[in-house]
Amino acid sequence: MQSVYKLIRLNRVVRNHRIKFAAVLLAHSLKLRHLFLRFDPVMACNLRCRMCYFSNDEYVRQIRGQFSQAEVERIAELFFPLTLQLVIGCGTEPTLYHDFPRLVRIAKRYRIPFVGFTTNAQMISEAQLGEFVDDKLDELTVSVHGVRKETYEHFMSNASYGTLHTNLLALERVKRDKRSTLPRLRINYTVNAENLGELPEFFQAFGEYSISALQVRPINDFGGEYRTMLRGEDMAAYSAIVRELGNECRKRGITYLANLDDPQFLEPNTTSVILQAVRRHITPQIVWKPEFDWRNESYGDFCRRTKWSANLRRLIYSDMDAVKRYNAGMWGEHSAKYDVIL
């Protein structure tokens, strides 16, 4: 299992929030790598997936922008020396950014231990996949919303099931030709009541690919066209299917991530309470926090100006109710709400 997944599992094993925040404070004070960056270089997507906010016309009209090359270098200077994990592509489609493989090269220049790239794999060429291999991208995550062609193309509007498989085959071929195990392939399957039933067929459709990790992600309401979350009557089937899929992943040596405890997101997430303290979401619209004057001040200066260390110390001595208030909102309450089962 890759080290980043071991760290996620450790986070769930260590239940004491005081220990977690103390570890973050120590890493921050000693300028050790501890940040988990989610980096969207361009605010756009080529698809209109029905479960995503990009299927909401009002949302699409409100978001604009992309980083210039100089701004990317500035972001790298500010954050990359402290970054433990960088994922390029969090809420948008990074292959729409000009020369997106260059982003991986910049990250590797700063020796970030884990660099991932998340995409719908519709607009990536074999040559660009080759660049990923040459630059030693650690993980390529591909979003999938259906096992069968008709379901996939229904929920991933404007996508081609054939193109998906063509590009997955291209990745296999490039890695084989270059004799590389990188990038490892991760599949994120967003599950709802309508595509749950075909999930047991997953390896019939995708078993030929060298998948390193599989995550089953129950739908959450992100303001898209389709917002029907898993219902009570779906829970028995969901539990059985997810567990059986886990057995198959075990046989194949695949890291498996799934939400077993609360797939309907009824309870706040208390296992990932430090997420807000280590996560840095960076987009052309906002770089971590609105008050961060990132073009003119350093990361350290901003932390000192906002008394970031004192904030972490308060969280160490706070009770869980105060920590929950700190984590209020979508990212704090439900993000990373899954188990690393294998």
The pLDDT of residue 334: 45
Each residue's pLDDT tens digit, 314-329: 999 988 888 877 765 5
The pLDDT of residue 107: 98
Residue 34: Cβ within 10 Å count:
19
Distance CA 333, CA 271 (A): 10
Rounded to the nearest 5 percent, the helix, strand and coil shares of the chain are 45, 15, 40
Distance CA 327, CA 306 (A): 18
The pLDDT of residue 164: 98
Element (H, E) at 87: strand 83-88
Backbone φ and ψ for 93, nearest 5 degrees, come out as -105, 105
Q: Name the stretches of the chain with pLDDT < 70.
A: 1, 268-271, 327-342
Structure tokens at 73: 């270098």
Distance CA 275, CA 141 (A): 20
DSSP 20-77: HHHHHHHHHHTT-S-EEEEE-SBS--S---TTSGGG-HHHHHH---B--HHHHHHHHH
Is the separation of the CB atoms in 53 and 306 below 8 Å? no
* 3-340: CATH, from 3.40.190.10, 3.90.226.10, 1.10.3720.10, 3.20.20.70: 3.20.20.70
Q: Give the global pTM.
A: 0.93
Structure tokens at 141: 């995550």
Helix/strand/coil for 108 = helix
Sheet containing 114-119: order of strands: 279-282, 35-39, 83-88, 114-119, 139-144, 184-191, 211-218, 255-258, 339-340
Each residue's pLDDT tens digit, 77-122: 999 999 999 999 998 999 999 999 999 999 999 999 999 999 999 9
Distance CA 193, CA 263 (A): 12
